[in-house]
Every structure is written in structure tokens, then in C-alpha cells.
Amino acid sequence: MRACVVGAGSLGSLLAGLLASAADVTLVGRPADVEAIEADGLRVAGAVERHVHPAVSTEPPATADLAVVAVKAFDTATVARQLADADLGGALSLQNGLGNEATLAATLDCEVLAGTCTYGARRVEPGLVECTGVGDVTLGAREGGESPLADRAGAVFDDAGFETTVATDMPQRLWTKLAVNAGINPPTALARVDNGALVDGPARETARAAARETARVARSEGVDLSDAAAVQAVEDVARATAANVSSMRQDVEAGRRTEIDAIGGAVLDRADESVPTVETLTRLVRAWERENELR
């Protein structure tokens, strides 16, 4: 399979580093990424170790069997326009938040798959990414059901060494991931704590409340996600990634714009009743972004 991974940040670099063992990979990144990887390859350290030499470019290739999108949610529309002229067999979003798949599908003339990835990743420098924890990749048709493209993509991810699931219930899985992100990312970013601080620390109930509110909104959208399941998912991920620094905390500490609009903002946009915890967390992160001239 010819795979194009768009985004050479933490997750994109990890995805490209592992996929290169099972696919013909092109990693699309910034000029600094291109220069570093062309000179010394792409290195994955930590829980998984690889040193590979994928093709690298600042622009997507003209053709690919699968474009794996791993950019921040606020860059999805830009990436969709960049990919619009490519001859693609399909696309897969492994991004945070809701709505990325719809944004891609509105522009691309190919099937767009939904996916989630719970591998921990931290980009150390261009060409070097640390895998901070082994998780799983789940992918499937964005509206649920069977997909031959998902089956083919899943086989490639599996061959590359990822713990992979091809799922027929992606809407529920996306909302579950949103509950996890809503419960973990804003509290850890605002408090500057590792994920494990949400297991039994003072912020535990805040994380649980955000998960319950997200589940309630999911049910109003026709997705069967119970409060208990959402809370359990948050606690399971927080415990499994206890030593990890969440992606939103990484962004805050680096002075970068966060994905709060695609996480807390996505819950608020769809809520038909009060979600006070999610609203408070979202307003606080947005306030930090505004104070730092990031929005």
C-alpha cells in the first residue's frame, strides 16, 4: 500500500515511523522535518524503537492508496484542500475531536474513514519521536458498518505492528474518545499535571463530570454512550497513560494553539442543555489562548 501520512508532529511521526515497515510511506511535514528526515531518517524511540527512511515532502504526493491525516483539528480544512487534487484510494482521520471526517469528506472525492489512536507520542525534534506508551488503533467507516477499505487499511496497520481493530461502530467510538479527551486534556493542560493525576487526585471528579456531560450530549445525538461507560473510559486511559503528558498540555507548555474547539467546543456546539464542567474548562483554555494571542 502507498500511504501518505499528513502531519509530522508527535502522532504523525509515530504513525509514519511504524507504517514504513509495512507500506510505501510518504510523510508530509514542514521544511525542517523534510531536511532532518532526508539527512538522517525518522527515528522512533521509547516503548517502540524504529529507524526508517520514508519519503518526505512538504506537499502531498500526486497519488496514494491511503492518506492518513494526523494534523491538529484546526488544520483539517487546509489539509483537505491540499489533498483535493491528489488521486486517493481513501483517507483516514486519526485526529482528536469531532467533525474532521466530515470536513475531509466534503472536499475529497474518495471514501473517508474514521479512526482513533491511543498510542502515546512526543515529538522530541524533527526526525525524532518518542513513543511514550503502546495503545491501539481503531478504524472503520465513519458512519458505521462494513468497509472493504477499512479492512485493507487495518491489515496494513496490523502488519506494521500496531494493535489494530477494524470496527463497525465508529460513531460510538468517536464519542467515547471525545469523552476521554474532554475529561483528560483540558484538566491536565490547565493544572499542568500528568494524566495519572486524574486517577485519584483532586481533579478526578472534574474529569468524571466532563465525561458524563459528553455522554449526555452523545445520547442526544443518537449515540448509545452511557455515563458509566464514558467515565470508565476516562479512568482506564488516565490509568494506562499515568505518566504521559497529554497533547493539550504539550501544546500549552509549548505556547501553541490547542484543539479545544474540536473537543470541548464540539460538545458545546451540540449540547441542547447545560454542560457546566465542559463549558468552564473550554472557556478557561480559550481564555489562555486569547491571552497568548493564539485565537
Active centre residues (catalytic): 177
- Please state, in angstroms and as integers, the Cα–Cα distance from residue 263 to each residue in 48, 92, 124, 235, following that order: 28, 19, 25, 18
Q: Distance of CA 192 to CAs 134, 185, 261, Å?
A: 23, 10, 19
Cβ atoms of 126 and 98 closer than 8 Å:
no
Closest CA to 66 of 45, 92, 29: 92
Q: Cα(7)–Cα(117) distance, rounded to whole angstroms?
A: 15
Instruction: Tell me the DSSP string of 8-58.
Output: -SHHHHHHHHHHTTTSEEEEE--HHHHHHHHHH-EEEEETS-EEE--EEES
Strands 42-46 and 24-28, by their bridges, are unpaired
Cα–Cα distance between 223 and 128 in angstroms, integer?
Answer: 38
Are 132 and 140 contacting, i.e. CB atoms less than 8 angstroms apart?
Answer: no
- The SS3 assignment for 59 reads coil
Per-residue buried b or exposed e for 176-194, using 16+ beta carbons within 10 Å of the residue's own CB: bbbbbbbbbbbbbbbeebb
In this structure, what are the phi and psi dihedrals at residue 124, rounded to the nearest 5 degrees? -80, -45
